[in-house]
Amino acid sequence: TPAYEMLRSLVGSEMCIRDRLKIERLEEKQEELRERLKVVEKWVIGAAAVLAAGTTVIGFATNISKAYL
């Protein structure tokens, strides 16, 4: 019947709108997570640089102490 078809169409449209809103929220969350990941990556790179510098300093200190002992 036409009324049934109209109802099916409305329900389908409502589902489409709901799904689109969910997708938009997921895309926003994905972008937020990408930005947070960039921050973590910068922190990890910085921490690695600090560790490398510390290792170099310890190496120099070890070599200096061996030369004088």
The tokens describing 69, both together, are 């002992």
Q: Round the average pLDDT of the chain to a whole number and report it.
A: 86
pLDDT band at 1 (very low <50, low <70, confident <90, very high): low
Measured distance CA(4)–CA(13) in Å, rounded: 14
Give the global pTM. Answer: 0.56
For residues 37-41, average pLDDT: 96
- End-to-end CA, the chain: 99
pLDDT at 53 exceeding the cut of 80: yes
pLDDT at 44: 95
Measured distance CA(40)–CA(52) in Å, rounded: 18
Give CB contacts under 8 A, 24+ apart, made by 14-20. none
